[in-house]
């Protein structure tokens, strides 16, 4: 800041003049340029072709030998029979015996979930896992093949074919002597909860009062990679590769590329968000497919909810993907999807694990930050940060513009520089108070649950209580005269605006390094309105922006997203039905994010309450 306002210089630099006199024009140019660059990044001319950064994977040199063994069909028949006789439980004893019969050591893992909200609920479950020890190493590294257990009566579809394929692969690999890493075969009960319990037990993390993860009878070395199977039918039309994990984390791009390459070599169509790589010669048609696939991925990543159980492995620095086998009926009735038998999926998995078996070190040579327009194209962090930076820069430009304008006014009045510095420092306490309020709001779920008898006496559900408490707290803060800005001087108002802009830019920039999709989504929404708010000097005109700023409240953004989806999916329904249905869905989603925070470590609620809400509240307080 001192370099821009050095009093020793007799003449102002060109940058200072530009920012003070033409900040609005420069900011508008940056924002429009960001839109143009973002549109250009998803065209055929600018996306890059995927490639293998780590030559040790060697997917082209893997000689796949897995065949259509009679054991595969036999074990699937027997598994279906025993699952039908015990439809509401994991057939743990049967799976352990089956693993033992093929020469592996099978183990059961018991866990207990104490539901953190509402009336006390205890959910018990058990997982089954087996370890195939490597013949060429001393259990120093491991790879995981996993699958959730879903019987035929599950609403999400059965996963018995995938589990049978896992057992068949276990028998196949047990007869080979080239393994340099242990293979862990994992079947989990209770969906994500079972995976979370097993991972916590494997890594022996600090125990919590919510999830009692028990203990594991046997372990291997550090897990390098994992492949989660979700195969519903015996004939596969396409293989959906899922990568989005908890909080928007992504696996190393090399792992995704290996799965796509080997699926293609086995004549199984690999898809990403339901789309295969386009081979059309039409430039606009291809660019449209790229844009839609990229948008679909960004929406999925911005939700911060994993698209499969693989997403829980990422926070342990384990590269993981989910391979979902889509049957012919569910493959959007596409005629060009060739049906592949189950054993061909097994050959893909064999190839993936033989490639991973060749790794001499952890994944470190390819990208962890990227966007995928298709299965064969990618956009690296070096490209997509350009439009984000151009969209966020107006916040900093306007903050500098306000600071330099105040500095110029002080100089014209022949006042000391320390006066202005003091006014900027005087704006910081309110910023601190806002974040303290944010942390208090983040602690509301724990506080409400601590005094749960208050809402139990009125037969209220926890999700209704926390939902209306958050709304009431927000309204109390927004319209409480204690927290409303009382303008004492124009300089103090400008100082508070400057600090608010810098704070918002800092939060969005930090978020972009963790979840670019969520950061870009929030930046597109909040930057234009915030910029207008601090650019208008007339207080009456600023108040006209209050409805737009209110729509940018964290709760409002969530509700509007659900409402828009409801209108798009059921556009013929009455609008009042949409409003009521979206409100109920909003409560459920809020509860889900709270559950994920307590059980899995999803930070979306914490970010929205402790970081984004304070930044929003500062903007609201100066209109």
Mean of pLDDT values over 383-407: 91
Q: 550 versus 330: which is more confidently predicted?
A: 550
CA dihedral over 519, 520, 521, 525, signed as positive or negative: positive
Q: Cβ of 87: how many Cβ atoms within 10 Å?
A: 10
Helix H or strand E encompassing 129: strand 122-132
363 falls within a domain: yes
Mean of pLDDT values over 188-217: 92
Q: Give tens-digit pLDDT for 575-590.
A: 899 899 999 999 999 9
pLDDT at 440 exceeding the cut of 80: yes
Predicted local confidence at residue 46, as pLDDT: 87
Lowest mean pLDDT among 37-46, 399-408, 476-485, 612-621: 476-485
383 falls within a domain: no
Are residue 457 and residue 357 in the same domain, yes or no?
no
**What is the rounded distance in angstroms from the CA atom of residue 408 to the CA atom of residue 411?**
5
Contact 607, 469 (CB under 8 A): no
268 backbone dihedrals φ, ψ, rounded to 5°: -110, 130
Q: Which residue in 251, 412, 197, 234 sits closest to 340, CA to CA?
A: 234
5 falls within a domain: no
Q: Tell me which range, 18-27, 198-207, 566-575, is most confidently predicted by mean pLDDT.
A: 198-207
Residue 503's domain comprises 428-621
Last residue of a domain, one of 344, 375, 406: 375
Q: 19 versus 275: which is more confidently predicted?
A: 275
Q: 229 versus 418: which is more confidently predicted?
A: 229
- Give residue 409's pLDDT band: very low, low, confident or very high (50, 70, 90): low
- Give residue 9's pLDDT band: very low, low, confident or very high (50, 70, 90): very low
Last residue of a domain, one of 358, 375, 392: 375
CA dihedral over 75, 110, 317, 605, signed as positive or negative: positive
Are residue 362 and residue 459 in the same domain, yes or no?
no
610 falls within a domain: yes
Q: Give tens-digit pLDDT for 82-129.
A: 998 888 889 999 999 999 999 899 999 999 999 988 777 899 999 999
- With a CB cutoff of 8 Å and minimum separation 6, the contacts of 219 are 131, 202
Are residue 133 and residue 262 in the same domain, yes or no?
yes
Q: Give tens-digit pLDDT for 480-508.
A: 776 665 555 677 888 889 999 999 999 99
Kindly give the residue spans of alpha helices, DSSP state H, lying in 303-460.
342-357, 381-412, 417-442, 444-450, 453-456
- With a CB cutoff of 8 Å and minimum separation 6, the contacts of 585 are 562, 566
How far are the Cα atoms of 76, 92, 389 from residue 80, in angstroms, in the given order? 6, 14, 54
CATH of the domain at 186: 3.40.630.10
Which residue bears the tokens 């103090």? 492
Instruction: Specify the 3-state DSSP secondary structure of 605.
Output: helix
Contact 219, 141 (CB under 8 A): no
pLDDT at 531 exceeding the cut of 90: yes
Q: Please spell the DSSP secondary structure of 151-207, one letter per residue.
A: -TT-TT---HHHHHHHHHHHHHHHT-S---SEEEEEEESTTHHHHHHHHHHHHTPPP
361 falls within a domain: yes
Q: Tell me which range, 225-234, 451-460, 477-486, is most confidently predicted by mean pLDDT.
A: 225-234
455 falls within a domain: yes
Q: Give tens-digit pLDDT for 116-151.
A: 887 778 999 999 999 999 888 787 899 999 999 998
Are residue 365 and residue 465 in the same domain, yes or no?
no
Are residue 437 and residue 335 in the same domain, yes or no?
no
Quick check: pTM over 0.95?
Answer: no
Are residue 234 and residue 333 in the same domain, yes or no?
yes
**What is the rounded distance in angstroms from the CA atom of residue 113 to the CA atom of residue 133?**
31
**What is the rounded distance in angstroms from the CA atom of residue 504 to the CA atom of residue 395?**
8
101 falls within a domain: yes
DSSP 611: I
- HEC readout, 437-476: HHHHHHCHHHHHHHCCHHHHCCCCCHHHHHHHHHHHHHHH
Instruction: Specify the 3-state DSSP secondary structure of 623.
Output: coil
**What is the rounded distance in angstroms from the CA atom of residue 563 to the CA atom of residue 12?**
51
395 falls within a domain: no
**What is the rounded distance in angstroms from the CA atom of residue 579 to the CA atom of residue 562?**
10
Predicted local confidence at residue 468, as pLDDT: 92
Predicted local confidence at residue 548, as pLDDT: 94
Mean of pLDDT values over 417-431: 68
> How many domains are contained in the chain?
2
Are residue 177 and residue 277 in the same domain, yes or no?
yes
Predicted local confidence at residue 1, as pLDDT: 44
- With a CB cutoff of 8 Å and minimum separation 6, the contacts of 415 are none
pLDDT at 460 exceeding the cut of 90: no
Predicted local confidence at residue 606, as pLDDT: 96
pLDDT at 3 exceeding the cut of 70: no
537 backbone dihedrals φ, ψ, rounded to 5°: -85, -25
Last residue of a domain, one of 375, 394, 418: 375
Mean of pLDDT values over 268-281: 89
Mean of pLDDT values over 365-382: 91
Are residue 354 and residue 432 in the same domain, yes or no?
no
Quick one: how far is CA 121 from the chain centroid?
Answer: 28
Predicted local confidence at residue 8, as pLDDT: 47
pLDDT at 10 exceeding the cut of 50: no
Mean of pLDDT values over 433-451: 92
Mean of pLDDT values over 472-481: 87
Are residue 435 and residue 341 in the same domain, yes or no?
no
Are residue 330 and residue 433 in the same domain, yes or no?
no
Predicted local confidence at residue 334, as pLDDT: 55
pLDDT at 2 exceeding the cut of 60: no
Which residue bears the tokens 């910029």? 531
Whole-number average pLDDT of the chain: 88
Are residue 86 and residue 232 in the same domain, yes or no?
yes
Mean of pLDDT values over 451-474: 85
Predicted local confidence at residue 445, as pLDDT: 92
Mean of pLDDT values over 355-380: 89
Are residue 563 and residue 447 in the same domain, yes or no?
yes
């Amino acid at each position: 800041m001192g370099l821009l306002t050095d009093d020793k210089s007799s003449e102002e630099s060109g940058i200072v003049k530009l920012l003070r006199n033409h900040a609005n024009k420069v900011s508008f140019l940056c924002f429009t340029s960001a839109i143009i660059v973002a549109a250009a990044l998803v065209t055929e001319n600018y996306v890059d072709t995927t490639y293998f950064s780590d030559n040790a994977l060697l997917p082209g040199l893997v000689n796949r030998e897995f065949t259509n063994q009679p054991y595969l069909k036999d074990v699937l028949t027997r598994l279906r029979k025993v699952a039908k006789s015990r439809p509401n439980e994991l057939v743990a004893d049967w799976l352990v015996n089956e693993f033992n019969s093929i020469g592996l050591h099978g183990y059961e893992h018991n866990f207990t979930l104490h539901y953190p909200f509402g009336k006390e609920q205890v959910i018990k479950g058990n997982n089954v896992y087996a370890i195939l020890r490597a013949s060429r190493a001393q259990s120093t590294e491991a790879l995981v093949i996993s699958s959730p257990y879903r019987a035929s009566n599950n609403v999400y579809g059965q996963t018995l074919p995938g589990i049978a394929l896992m057992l068949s692969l276990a028998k196949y690999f047990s007869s080979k002597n080239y393994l340099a890493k242990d293979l862990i075969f994992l079947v989990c009960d209770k969906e994500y909860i079972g995976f979370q319990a097993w991972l916590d037990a494997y890594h022996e993390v600090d125990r919590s009062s919510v999830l009692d993860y028990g203990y594991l009878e046997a372990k291997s070395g550090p897990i390098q990679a994992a492949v989660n199977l979700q195969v519903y039918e015996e004939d596969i039309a396409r293989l959906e590769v899922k990568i989005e994990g908890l909080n928007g984390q992504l696996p190393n791009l090399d792992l995704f590329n290996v799965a796509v390459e080997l699926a293609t070599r086995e004549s199984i169509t690999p898809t990403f968000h339901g789309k295969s790589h386009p081979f059309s010669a039409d430039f606009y048609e291809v660019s449209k497919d790229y844009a839609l696939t990229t948008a679909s991925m960004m929406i999925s990543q911005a939700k911060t909810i994993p698209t499969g159980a693989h997403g829980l492995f990422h926070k342990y620095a384990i590269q993981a993907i989910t391979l979902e086998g889509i049957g012919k009926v569910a493959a959007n009735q596409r005629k060009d999807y060739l049906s592949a038998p189950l054993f061909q999926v097994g050959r893909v998995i064999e190839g993936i694990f033989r490639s991973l078996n060749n790794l001499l070190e952890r994944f470190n040579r390819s990208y962890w930050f990227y966007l995928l327009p298709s299965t064969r194209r990618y956009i690296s962090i070096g490209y997509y940060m350009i439009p984000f930076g151009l969209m966020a820069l107006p916040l900093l430009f306007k903050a500098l513009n306000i600071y330099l304008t105040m500095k110029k006014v002080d100089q014209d009045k022949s006042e000391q520089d320390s006066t202005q510095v003091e006014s900027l420092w005087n704006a910081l306490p309110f910023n601190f108070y806002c974040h303290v309020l944010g942390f208090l709001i983040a602690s509301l779920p724990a506080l409400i649950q601590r005094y749960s008898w208050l809402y139990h006496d009125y037969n209220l559900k926890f999700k209704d209580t926390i939902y209306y408490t958050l709304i009431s707290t927000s309204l109390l803060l927004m319209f409480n005269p204690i927290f409303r800005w009382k303008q004492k001087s124009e300089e103090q108002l400008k100082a508070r605006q400057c600090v608010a802009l810098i704070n918002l830019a800092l939060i969005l920039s930090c978020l972009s390094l963790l979840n670019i999709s969520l950061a870009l989504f929030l930046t597109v929404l909040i930057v234009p309105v915030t910029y207008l708010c601090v650019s208008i000097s007339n207080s009456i005109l600023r108040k006209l922006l209050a409805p737009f700023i209110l729509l940018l409240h964290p709760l409002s953004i969530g509700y509007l997203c659900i409402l828009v989806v409801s209108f798009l999916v059921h556009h013929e329904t009455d609008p009042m039905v949409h409003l009521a249905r979206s409100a109920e869905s909003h409560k459920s989603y809020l509860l889900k994010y709270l559950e994920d925070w307590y059980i899995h470590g999803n930070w979306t609620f914490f970010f929205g309450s402790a970081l984004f809400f304070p930044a929003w509240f500062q903007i609201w307080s100066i209109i």
